[in-house]
Amino acid sequence: MTSDTLTSDPMALWSLGVNTSGDKRGRRGKPDWTDIGFFLLLAVGGAYVLMQYGSFMSYYEKMILVGAVVVFSWLGWLWRPIRVLMVASGLTALLAIWLYSPTGSFMQGDLTRADTDFLLKYLISSQSAILWMCALFFLATICYWVGFVSDTAAWLGTVLTWGAVYAGLTGLLVRWREGHLLGPDIGHIPVSNLYEVFVLLALIMSLFYLYYERRYATRALGGFAMLVVSSLIVFLLWYSFTRDAYQIAPLVPALKSWWMKLHVPANFIGYGTFSLAAMTGFAYLIKAHGNTRSWKPMIPLFVLGAVLCAEPFVFSSRELSPVWMAYFGIGSIAVGGILAMRAPIAARLPSLEVLDDIMYRAIAVGFAFFTVATILGALWAADAWGTYWQWDPKETWALIVWLNYAAWLHMRLMKGLRGSMAAYWALAGLVVTSFAFLGVNMFLSGLHSYGHL
């Protein structure tokens, strides 16, 4: 019996000592010595930053650092694999920082070493690490789909996804340092423009997927989740090399605020989990109609898939772009291929109950963080512009996204929304969310138009 079939048989899970959620540890229990050690490691690191660089930080930034130590310690206890990721990425970033500034001076360093030092040039400069992330995500997507006929390939997909997340997180950390090396007024947390948040969104969605993969003991959902991540990577590469978006630039005045360190990550946790819920809804519909010979139920699903494939093509520019024309064509063929092969794919997917549960949990988590992000955004707006809400296009579409998922959760909790309707709604929600993320920047100017295509 493979791991992909375990989730469809709750009694088999219990017989192997796994609870019905798929979490092999069952209860997390009390923190052990490794949890305490991880907390002490973070606390010592935070204390060192405060002592060495506290003069460069505001009171609020110091509070954010202290809060981050607590939050990451809790995450390390909640999901222990993430501790390995944090430590590995942190140590690699420190190595890159040392290679840039072997004297150890925070304000001095030589960025030209990225072109001369072997490790920086090919592996751990921010651009190199992020390019490795892109390559690994593409390979992981392929392996997850091959995994429908080979358990080894599916396992390799998980390994490659972890490797991509490690490379991407390292790249963002090193990019933070590189900004400071360009000048004291240039360095900033790397979540300020489209290039940086594309990386952040790919990492967030992948981490949430990896969490649910382990919790529910199935890799069959990986191919679906990685489709969106691969789409983000295509967009990231196109945006990088056609707009030189990888260049680090000073922040615009409105973004020079400690609010950004809270608002942006919370916002993109919402986007990431909404995207995961949408692809889980896609998998749910494939599972539900896996044995249906008629193509009628597949027509709306194909239309939604084609619309999602067309969105980047529409957003990319006012002119026809060969890249996005090809993306639309390949994406539509891929969606059609998945629908054509729905029977064998459905046989490997976990049960409808498990897919429904993942979809619900992802939307619930995303809604909570998106709500917090919206409140923080209003507070930031009051601090920057003197008013909490101005019906700016970005604010308006954020409200539309919030209302969409608030209605989804209300219908589920109050009216028992389940099944194909919930899945279609979650998938359609991705169209709304992606327009709020990119379409507003493309078609509607406003106070939030900091990243243009």
* Per-position DSSP letters for 426-443, written without gaps between them: HHHHHHHHHIIIIIHHHH
Question: Tokens 């947390």 appear where?
Answer: 189
* Nearest by Cα to 218 from 160, 162, 151, 140: 151
Question: Where does the pLDDT of residue 409 fall: very low under 50, low under 70, confident under 90, or very high at 90 and above?
Answer: very high
d(CA 313, CA 327): 8
pLDDT exceeding 70 applies to what percent of the chain?
A: 85
d(CA 56, CA 296): 62
189-210 b/e (C-beta count within 10 Å ≥ 16 → b) = bbbbbbbbbbbbbbbbbbbbbb
Tell me: pLDDT of 83 over 80: yes
The answer to whether the beta carbons of residues 178 and 171 sit under 8 Å apart is: no
pLDDT at 21: 38
pLDDT at 391: 81
- pLDDT tens per residue, range 139-161: 999 999 999 999 999 999 999 99
d(CA 360, CA 284): 12
pLDDT at 210: 97
Tell me: pLDDT of 440 over 80: no
Tell me: pLDDT of 314 over 70: no
Question: Where does the pLDDT of residue 290 fall: very low under 50, low under 70, confident under 90, or very high at 90 and above?
Answer: confident
- pLDDT tens per residue, range 226-244: 999 999 999 899 888 888 8
DSSP code at position 449: -
Which of the pair, 339 or 209, is modelled with greater confidence? Answer: 209
Which of the pair, 90 or 101, is modelled with greater confidence? Answer: 90
Mean pLDDT over 420-424 rounds to 93
d(CA 177, CA 69): 19
Average pLDDT, the chain: 85
Tell me: pLDDT of 405 over 80: yes
The answer to whether the beta carbons of residues 216 and 362 sit under 8 Å apart is: no
Question: Where does the pLDDT of residue 2 fall: very low under 50, low under 70, confident under 90, or very high at 90 and above?
Answer: very low
Lowest pLDDT segment from 6-15, 54-63, 358-367: 6-15
Question: Where does the pLDDT of residue 310 fall: very low under 50, low under 70, confident under 90, or very high at 90 and above?
Answer: low
pLDDT at 101: 84
d(CA 42, CA 45): 5
d(CA 249, CA 195): 11
Q: What is the pTM of this model?
A: 0.90
pLDDT at 422: 95
Task: Provide DSSP, 368-420.
Answer: HHHHHHHHHHHHHHHHHHS-S----HHHHHHHHHHHHHHHHHHHHHHH---HH
pLDDT at 79: 93
Q: How far is CA 194 from CA 240, 242, 365, 403, 445, in A?
A: 10, 13, 23, 24, 15
Task: Provide DSSP, 311-368.
Answer: HHHHHH-SS--HHHHHHHHHHHHHHHHHHHTHHHHHHHS--HHHHHHHHHHHHHHHHH
Question: Where does the pLDDT of residue 20 fall: very low under 50, low under 70, confident under 90, or very high at 90 and above?
Answer: very low
Q: Residue 146: which H helix or E strand, with range? A: helix 126-146
Pick the most confident of 22-31, 73-82, 333-342, 376-385.
73-82
Query: Which residues are CB-contacts of 102 (< 8 A; sequence separation ≥ 6)?
Result: none
d(CA 384, CA 58): 17
pLDDT at 444: 57
* Nearest by Cα to 433 from 382, 392, 398: 398
Cα dihedral 140/146/152/157 (nearest 10): 10
pLDDT at 175: 95
Tell me: pLDDT of 6 over 50: no
Lowest pLDDT segment from 39-43, 52-56, 114-118: 52-56
* Nearest by Cα to 191 from 181, 182, 201, 206: 201
pLDDT at 169: 97
